[in-house]
Amino acid sequence: MTDVVMPQMGESIVEGTLTKWLKKAGDTVVLDEPLFEISTDKVDTEIPSPAAGVLSEVLVQEGQTIQVNAVVARISATDGATPAAAPKVEAAPAAAPAAKVEAAPVAAPAPVATPAPAAPSAPAGPLSPLVRRMARENNIDLSRITGTGAGGRITKDDVEAFLKGVPAAAPAAAQVAAPAPTAKPFAPGAKTRVEPMSIMRQKIAEHMVMSKRTSAHVTTVHRVDMTKVAKMRAKHKDAFAARHGMSLTFLPFVTRAAAEALAQFPMLNASIDGTNIVFHNEINIGIAVALDGGLIVPVIKNADEKNVTGLQRSIVDLAGRARSKQLKPDEIQGGTFSITNFGSFGSVFATPVINQPQVAILGVGTVEKVAAVVDDAIAIRSQCYLALTFDHRLIDGALADQFTAKVKAALETWSEDIL
């Protein structure tokens, strides 16, 4: 018998929603055959069968949200007399005596179970090393403190107030929770249509709100002359498509330039952990991919080690498998920086939201020909806007502009061969 578990689809993912069973109890399955679909705030994908055999038990129904590593089904082997394993499910009548045992508690006084104290609830949000140390040194149960930080996080001031016996945290927490407005019901006959959000849409909503509460978002926009890149792309795109079987876009050029800039400015390739800065030794760039009703950010690992051709191949491969729900768990985690190409939909520029726990995201606007002043003369140039959103808790405007200027310079002076 093989247990089928809910996989972990990202470092910060602790639960997922089983949205659809692709097989039903009693069906024969083969190894790696799609078994069910799940949805998290990072991915909406199919999960393959971990073994061949018969899907003997389905333990989780469609629409249920469960913890990572929870058993959702069981697969039994199909050799020889194993079909008799199916009756094992019917062996439930043997469990009937258990029902009699459950009747026995009548003899035990019910109040005995009642006084058992409930386990303390875990504090909301991550805890900084300072808060952990203060709690340890003062023997404080953090579940007794109401956090006033972002998302209910416990801060140093909350711990100090608790030690002084000042009940200031509760009103502050109430202020955090109070603003949530209640939706007004629509009048009967109103010209509206109401339908529930998809699980993926709900998770994206939660992640975006959490990101805005966590990071101090600031966006800087730089105009980039893409003429050299545009001419090189136009010159080689037919040969590139013939040789590699895919189109050559502007995105791998921007990704290549960003990888170079991240190597020079490692602060933008970092994360924040309490009052510590975590510098990542790898440059793993997430590329936002639009899906029906949502988006996903698969990750190009060690992006700085790839040339334009390698980056274009990775982008096409990851985007294609994201849309066909074939991404693997490790392909949507470990990102240290993200790029979103809203220019592919005609947008000039936008202000993207940071993909937590990263500290910056680069938005790429559409590349278009415009009239520009070059050496005091009017010329036709291919231009686009790069919009860098950064976390002002860690990155100041000067550093953000230096980083974006490095990306801009790499693109405007492009000389690297692509074939």
Least confident of 67-76, 83-92, 114-123: 83-92
Percent of the chain with pLDDT over 90: 50
Burial of 208 (0-12, 13-18, 19+ CB in 10 A): middle
Neighbouring residues of 306: CB distance < 8 A, sequence distance ≥ 6: 256, 259, 300, 314
> Domain containing 76 — which CATH number?
2.40.50.100
pLDDT tier at 208, thresholds 50, 70, 90: very high
Question: Which pLDDT score, from 0 to 100, does residue 64 have?
Answer: 87
Q: Which domain holds residue 238?
A: 216-412
Model pLDDT for residues 16-41, shown as the tens digit of each residue? 888 889 999 999 999 888 899 887 75
Prediction pTM value: 0.64
Model pLDDT for residues 379-412, shown as the tens digit of each residue? 999 999 999 999 999 999 999 999 999 999 999 9
295 and 380 share a domain? Answer: yes
Asked if residue 108 is part of any domain, the answer here is no
Question: Which pLDDT score, from 0 to 100, does residue 396 have?
Answer: 97
Neighbouring residues of 196: CB distance < 8 A, sequence distance ≥ 6: none
Least confident of 42-46, 218-222, 241-245, 315-319: 42-46
253 and 169 share a domain? Answer: no
Q: Domain count of the chain?
A: 3
pLDDT tier at 116, thresholds 50, 70, 90: very low
Average pLDDT over residues 150-159: 72
377 and 232 share a domain? Answer: yes
| Average predicted confidence (pLDDT) for the chain | 82
165 pLDDT above the threshold of 80: no
* Cβ pair 93, 33 in contact under 8 A: no
Radius of gyration of the chain (CA): 27
344 and 220 share a domain? Answer: yes
Domain final residue pick, 88, 110, 142: 88
Residue bearing the bigger pLDDT, 126 or 273? 273
Average pLDDT over residues 333-348: 94
Asked if residue 359 is part of any domain, the answer here is yes
342 and 226 share a domain? Answer: yes
275 and 331 share a domain? Answer: yes
Asked if residue 82 is part of any domain, the answer here is yes
Helix axes 308-323, 227-244, angle to 10 degrees: 70
Asked if residue 180 is part of any domain, the answer here is no
164 and 230 share a domain? Answer: no
262 and 391 share a domain? Answer: yes
22 and 138 share a domain? Answer: no
Domain final residue pick, 119, 143, 174: 174
> Domain containing 334 — which CATH number?
3.30.559.10
Question: Which pLDDT score, from 0 to 100, does residue 293 have?
Answer: 77
Average pLDDT over residues 173-180: 45
Asked if residue 221 is part of any domain, the answer here is yes
Residues labelled catalytic: 392, 396
Domain final residue pick, 27, 57, 88: 88
135 and 275 share a domain? Answer: no
Question: Which pLDDT score, from 0 to 100, does residue 189 have?
Answer: 66
> Domain containing 147 — which CATH number?
4.10.320.10
Q: What φ, ψ does residue 146 adopt, rounded to 5°?
A: -95, 120
Question: What is each CA distance from 248 to 177, 340, 342, in whole angstroms?
Answer: 49, 17, 17
301 and 391 share a domain? Answer: yes
Give the distance from CA 366 to its chain's centroid.
25
* Cα angle: 14, vertex 334, 349; to 5 degrees: 105
Most confident stretch, 31-35, 132-136, 332-336:
332-336
Model pLDDT for residues 3-20, shown as the tens digit of each residue? 999 887 655 566 788 888
Asked if residue 195 is part of any domain, the answer here is no
319 pLDDT above the threshold of 70: yes
275 and 381 share a domain? Answer: yes
pLDDT tier at 188, thresholds 50, 70, 90: low
Asked if residue 192 is part of any domain, the answer here is no
What kind and span of H or E run contains 397?
helix 397-412
Asked if residue 94 is part of any domain, the answer here is no
Q: Which residues make beta-bridge pairs with 31? A: none
Model pLDDT for residues 243-285, shown as the tens digit of each residue? 999 999 999 999 999 999 999 999 999 999 999 999 999 999 9
161 pLDDT above the threshold of 90: no
The rounded distance, in Å, linking the Cα atoms of 58 and 71 is 9
